[in-house]
Amino acid sequence: MRYHHFTLEQRDALQRTIRTSLHPGRERDEALGRLGEPDYGVCERCGRDIAFVLLEADPAARLCRACGGAEAPGEVRAPRGSRADRA
């Protein structure tokens, strides 16, 4: 899955946002690194494009809005509905 290519202006804007909104450190370095990768901006769960506005708000986002946005781990546990069996 590949994201559509950003325009140079969009990439530039994201790069600026990353530098200003994230604290220096591993997360920022990773976000800057991922920006150059072909699958940057692709939701890790459903493979769809993450909206540019969402990336602008959170350049480190790995999930699209439908899948939980931001940095939500996205772990959804299925509730156990069955009661213990009685023999």
The total of other beta-carbon atoms located within 10 Å of residue 37's CB is 11
Give me the residues that bind Zn ion (CB under 5 A), please.
43, 45-46, 64, 67
How near is the Cβ of 78 to Zn ion at its closest, in Å? 19
How near is the Cβ of 44 to Zn ion at its closest, in Å? 8
Tell me whether residue 22 or residue 43 sits nearer to Zn ion (CB atom).
43
How near is the Cβ of 19 to Zn ion at its closest, in Å? 26
Tell me whether residue 31 or residue 67 sits nearer to Zn ion (CB atom).
67
Distances (CA, A) of 77 to 11, 50, 52, 81, 85: 36, 24, 29, 12, 21
